[in-house]
Structure 1
Amino acid sequence: MATIIRDAPHHNMLTCVKDYGCLLPECRDRYKAYQRNRYHARAAGTWQPLADAEPVRQHILNLHAAGITDVRISELANLPFVTVAGFTRIHGTTNNKRARKRRCTPEVAAKILAITTDKATPTCVDATGTRRRIQALVAAGWPMVHLAPHFGLAPRTVIALIDQKRIYARNAAIVAEVYPRLAAMRPDRNGISRRSITRARRLAASRRWANKTYWAERMDVIDDPHFIPEYGLTRAELLAQEARWLIKTAGLTRTQAAERLHKDRSYIDRVLGADYEAAA
């Protein structure tokens, strides 16, 4: 009866050779090196293949309490997800349940114990620049769902970035890196239908999102949350902004603001009223 060699789920541990019969040269070399080290360590009386898993389990539980998931731990430790999950949960298929780990290799323990909450918690930054870059691309005809593959993010994540005030630094870095390339590309030459392009541009126009041409001259302030774009504003709306600043910040009355702006008081009342209604 022939032996079936299954594909290993990963190739960064000895199990790919021991349990799956992996034939990759690098995996075989790693397995042989392990066996040689084991032989010499046993001969010298220093062989300690497994360590108590309880300290590792408690460390993982502390990371969980800080909001750090097993997926994030496995990324930082460069270990398979099942290895990390095995310390705190029963896992496996319905017919092949695996109990929580009681022992582990010193290498695995060292990798997990080296993770701290400071390292594991993603750094967050202001989302202003990311939001403006995505908006500019949408104004150019890129639907957000089509931007997602270019960013390496899920479509729902890209859509959520539009409304978030703070985001993961790695997502901000990805968008900032990809933006110049996409801004130089035409969506209709990259698989986007004319209908989708039109819908994206209409969405951007209805929300007055500044386009890439506007930001091309203002890249030094695209990440500045204190910079207020004046894109798509009418003269009345610009005047209302100035009048509101004079009233709220400078402490002037409407009459004094009208005099400073060289406008009639009645006109200032009209633009402020229209501006407030539009904002509401």
Structure 2
Amino acid sequence: MSATSYAQRVAHSRWRRRRGELIAAGQWMPFVAAGPVRDHVNKIRAAGMPVRALEQHFEMSAHHLDHLLWGSEGSGPGEKVRTETARMLLAYWPTLDHFPDSARIDPTGTRRRIEALQVRGFNLIAVAGKCGMPARYFQKAMCADKVTARMARAVRDVYGAWWDADPLEHGVLDWVAGRTRRAAERQGWYGPLAWDDDTIDDPTAVPQTDAVQPLAAEGEDVAARWLMGESVILGRSARREVLQHLFEWTSDTTEEIAARLEMTPEAAERAWHRQQAKAAAEGRRVWRRVYTPRIKQNDMEEAA
């Protein structure tokens, strides 16, 4: 007996035993309504994910989802779907890396990253060259309803490398960088410090400015109460206040601060730079006032 067939028999045996336990408890529900699952899959398709790519992602057999979506053998779309399949699909939403290269997806994040790099002084030719694509392709993409996932990933990677870089150190001439910045300013575009990595792709997200905060807060002194351990909702201004306090007055690492605020480390670092830049523009200075050197494990072992 091959190892594969043995593993399949063991898995099937466990499934039958679990099935018997659920039947005995009156909890056996092998199928659920297909409507909500079909609606969710169609939203994933509308986002640019082909059905075949979705099947491949979950290692399903070819045309596994056809009956759910369109029906088969002359019948309409399926009314029931296996519970395990429903749970798996409903819990899934594709990330940028899941889309095939040729998939056509929302251009919001790509456009914002290109605009932000131009605010830094990186012109389209520089960004396109770094991505290995013609500049005219970028010009079309800035106005397109969709972009390919391949382009979106390329722009994301360049943005990750250049968001805080000096254009002059990457082959952009001084006068070109200046002209690019001025053009971006006239367009009203926002730089990298206005966007968090976890929201830049969201069409409903707004740049981090002093606009009216959309998040709810509970009462007054929300930031101070949050820092004291009270369970309150942080609005945008309170969140900025908390982040600045943690960076300025604690020895927590960027990763620890990001974890406390449920952000990515990159987003937390960018928000901290944004606050430093704003303070500098106002003639103030903020910096990390507390530093506690951390002893590494090998240092402890050597000391022992």
Same fold (TM over 0.5): no
TM-score using structure 2 length: 0.35
Task: Compare CA radii of gyration and give the structure with the larger one.
Answer: 1
